[in-house]
Structure 1
Amino acid sequence: MWRETALPMLRASETAGAAPSSGRVVSGMADVPRHDWSACRPGEAEGWAYLRACEIGTPPAFRLSAARVDDARGFAAGAPLFEVGYRLDTPLQGGWLGRACDGIERRFPGLLEWRLIGVGSPFSEECPLAVHPRLSEAERGAALGALITGIEREARQRGAAAIAFKDIGQSDFARVGPILQAAGYAPINSLPLAVLDLEDTRTLDAYLARLSSATRKDIRRKLKRKDAVSVEWRSDIEGLEAEIADLYASTRAQSHVHYGAFEELPQDYFARLSRQMPGQVAFACYRVAGVLAAFNLLFIETDRVIDKFLGMRYPLAREHDLYALSWVENVRFCQSIGRRYLQTGQTAYASKLRFGSALRPSTHMVKHRNPLLQGAVRLAAPLLSFPRWDPDLRAHRARKATA
């Protein structure tokens, strides 16, 4: 069902020349024009086709929809939405505080959970906010204002306690952060994205030369074992669907950080992407003595490759150093197709930093519908910061402090 919403209150100078806009919440990305979305976010692998694919077989913890804003000329802005029961202690990773929250939740089920409307996708690296490039600066502000108002109205109608714009990337935050802050949203640091810049490194040796001598030696030592490993690059995974899903589940179980429902994927996720995103996805399959020991799902964009998921069979993958081998293989892949950046996402930062990645900030913008509780959110923002509790990032900060 489509719902109309009024524009937020803006200064006359902000709305001058802007066509009247209306915010609508729709059932999903099928009700958002694909060509308009692509015009807003061109060349993006996690674009319309990806978001649409993730709406099929969605994990039961999530309810997906989308929001769009139209003006007199058609589609002006939009975003995917999700609804979820969000545990307030999600950023905490073990320790006494995490254990204390687990105890509270066991004794008082639901006390630490808020019904949340999320702007973005639980399955994307960054918040995919779409704003049409034909809009003027004033019109962009009006369209984003209408989007915010429509989403907040939807939260009231669903009885959601809070709204969160999930994982706004550094470049988008410069444009939309001030608008959200003016609308009463509080910033909370999300997990940063690890990104390796391969500029001026056309060969593997050129890349390795940028690393510390100890890291170079370690990688070269591990590469000596590559003869026992065969690598197959595929655009589809026909016949491997079940094995790949099992390897992802195995790797998820081995992780030392856990983020609940946000680690769950839609049903047949890997198989569906291999069918519906031709030319934008690649699978690297690693075999040892004929056994599928690891796989890597990569998204291909104009200037970057996104290392989306790595799944490994234990202990076979560790015995053959497949993490390091897959990293080197991905560097070579980027170099061979002329992509500057290798983006390796959130979590598991220790090796990514050692192998030369930098961290790009990401921000959640959060607003509780109760003004008093929103004041508490602002006060608690440092405590709720995801980087504060990630064990790899804590160790990284400690090393920098003593260096």
Structure 2
Amino acid sequence: MPDSSRPQVAYACSLEAQSLIGRFLQHPPVGFDARLSDQGLPYFFTPFDLLTTADDAFVKRVRGWPGYRFWNRWLRIDSCFVGTTVSEYSPLPQGVAPEDLAQWLQHECAPQRKLTIVKDVPCNSPLLSEADNRYAQALIDDCARRGFISLEGQALAYVPINFTTIDEYLARLSHSRRRNIRRKLRSREALRVEILDTGDARFNDEAWLAHLYGLYRAVYDQSEIHFDLLTPEFFSSLLRDADSNGRVFCYWHCDELIGYNLCYVEGDKLLDKYIGLNYPQALEFNLYFVSWFVNLEYAVANGLKFYVAGWTDPQVKASLGADFTLTRHLVWIRNPLLRTLGKRLRHHFEGEGQWHQEKTE
């Protein structure tokens, strides 16, 4: 019987193995209705608060409008998202021409919901092939011609592994940053780092799986944005998948698990996916910073070319020496009048591109 977690589709713009996308379809986040189109394109339906990605000033202004507490529920719209929340980019089926995919999005997908968002389409990403970047740009261009609103998306953090030691990497940072990082890294001396492959027999322990999930929930619960709550079943399926090239970096203090980091080796990249932290100990041991450099060391030791560090906390990752590559979101609002209004207000839902530009100047 074929494994339904591994869809037989060749994807453009996908850094991850097909199995991760398959697990998302099998065990979607809470409240998500995840589907796979006939072409092999993953998408999902879920309610979405329009203010989630708006800039702070605009959110404050809207919340100050008369009667906000009575009508704010209207801002939560049952929406369609094209892509997944477990992949860095929206995985696009290679066997479908960009213009055909854009036509399907406009005429078959978008009419199903009031709001449709094609999320995280890459823009000239150094992490992708030239062919993948051409495909993504062609999709952006064709969707824009059809009336989709093209918004600046998030900044994906990554580190090119063009150094051979951590000291060489740190030497590129400012003196004050080096001093601050070295101070935080002293706590590593009190930690034991254990690296387990996914599929290890220890992940058959239901109690330990529940503990690991609880540490993930601790991170999720303290986050400012609560969008995709992953399920225990999803995590169990990932940790028990021996064929996915997953690496679980476990950080122990004596016999206590302070936290862990689930990463994947894909080609020449180490993809940082999920972290679980035991608060407040993880903060006391500066585990976020320690894990960053453990991952870099692993990438160097294994001859990898990139460490891909994900979307969150761009300012912190910039201080740790990350580079960034931007994406675009393609937005379709079913109501023509609201679509026109959306184009006028689009700048309130962009911002990381401007932040990235300011950082590089």
TM range (shorter): 0.7 to 0.9
- Residues 369 and 124 of structure 1, relative CA distance in 2, 3 Å threshold: same
For residues 92-107 of structure 1, the aligned pairs below 5 Å read: 92=54, 97-98=59-60, 100-101=62-63, 106-107=69-70
The question of 1:34 aligning with 2:4 is answered: no
Match of 1:281 in 2: 246
- Residues 62 and 101 of structure 1, relative CA distance in 2, 3 Å threshold: farther
Q: Which moved more, 1:212-221 or 1:355-364?
A: 212-221
Residues 91 and 386, structure 1, Cα contact 8 Å, conserved in 2: no
Match of 2:21 in 1: 51
Flag as ranges the 4+ runs of structure 1 deviating above 6 A: 396-401
Match of 1:144 in 2: 101
Q: Which has the larger radius of gyration?
A: 1
Alpha-carbon shift at residue 387 of structure 1 (Å): 2.7
Match of 1:322 in 2: 287
Q: Which moved more, 1:342-351 or 1:167-176?
A: 167-176
Match of 1:249 in 2: 217
Aligned AA (2:79): L
TM-score when normalising by structure 1: 0.77
Matches of 2:219 and 2:6, distance apart in 1: 36
Name the % identity.
Answer: 24
Residues 99 and 142, structure 2, Cα contact 8 Å, conserved in 1: no
RMSD: 2.8
The question of 1:153 aligning with 2:153 is answered: no
Matches of 1:202 and 1:326, distance apart in 2: 18
For residues 75-90 of structure 1, the aligned pairs below 5 Å read: 78-90=40-52
- Residues 87 and 228 of structure 1, relative CA distance in 2, 3 Å threshold: same
- Residues 102 and 276 of structure 1, relative CA distance in 2, 3 Å threshold: farther
Residues 213 and 232, structure 2, Cα contact 8 Å, conserved in 1: no
Aligned AA (2:284): E
Match of 1:166 in 2: 119
Aligned AA (1:228): A
Matches of 2:286 and 2:210, distance apart in 1: 23
Gaps (5+ residues) in structure 2? 125-132
Residues 61 and 261, structure 1, Cα contact 8 Å, conserved in 2: no
Aligned AA (1:193): L
The question of 1:65 aligning with 2:35 is answered: yes
Matches of 1:60 and 1:230, distance apart in 2: 34
- Residues 181 and 226 of structure 1, relative CA distance in 2, 3 Å threshold: same
Q: Secondary structure of the equivalent of 2:232?
A: coil
What is the CA deviation profile of residues 338-386 of structure 1, one whole-angstrom value per residue up to 9, with x for unaligned ones? 1111111112122210111111101110011222111111111101125
Greater relative contact order (Cα < 8 A, sep 6+): 2
- The partner residue of 2:147 within 167, 175, 184 is 184
Residues 228 and 288, structure 1, Cα contact 8 Å, conserved in 2: yes
Matches of 1:365 and 1:92, distance apart in 2: 15
Residues 105 and 111, structure 1, Cα contact 8 Å, conserved in 2: no
- Residues 47 and 101 of structure 1, relative CA distance in 2, 3 Å threshold: farther
What is the CA deviation profile of residues 54-80 of structure 1, one whole-angstrom value per residue up to 9, with x for unaligned ones? 1233234211112234xxxxxxxx410
Match of 2:129 in 1: none
Residues 55 and 351, structure 2, Cα contact 8 Å, conserved in 1: no
Matches of 2:41 and 2:351, distance apart in 1: 23
Matches of 2:74 and 2:103, distance apart in 1: 32
Gaps (5+ residues) in structure 1? 1-28, 70-77, 133-138
What is the CA deviation profile of residues 9-67 of structure 1, one whole-angstrom value per residue up to 9, with x for unaligned ones? xxxxxxxxxxxxxxxxxxxx95x9834x13x449x563421111112332342111122
Match of 2:128 in 1: none
Match of 2:87 in 1: 124
Matches of 2:227 and 2:222, distance apart in 1: 16
Alpha-carbon shift at residue 181 of structure 1 (Å): 0.8
Matches of 1:244 and 1:105, distance apart in 2: 39
- Residues 191 and 399 of structure 1, relative CA distance in 2, 3 Å threshold: closer
Matches of 1:377 and 1:129, distance apart in 2: 25
Residues 16 and 266, structure 2, Cα contact 8 Å, conserved in 1: no
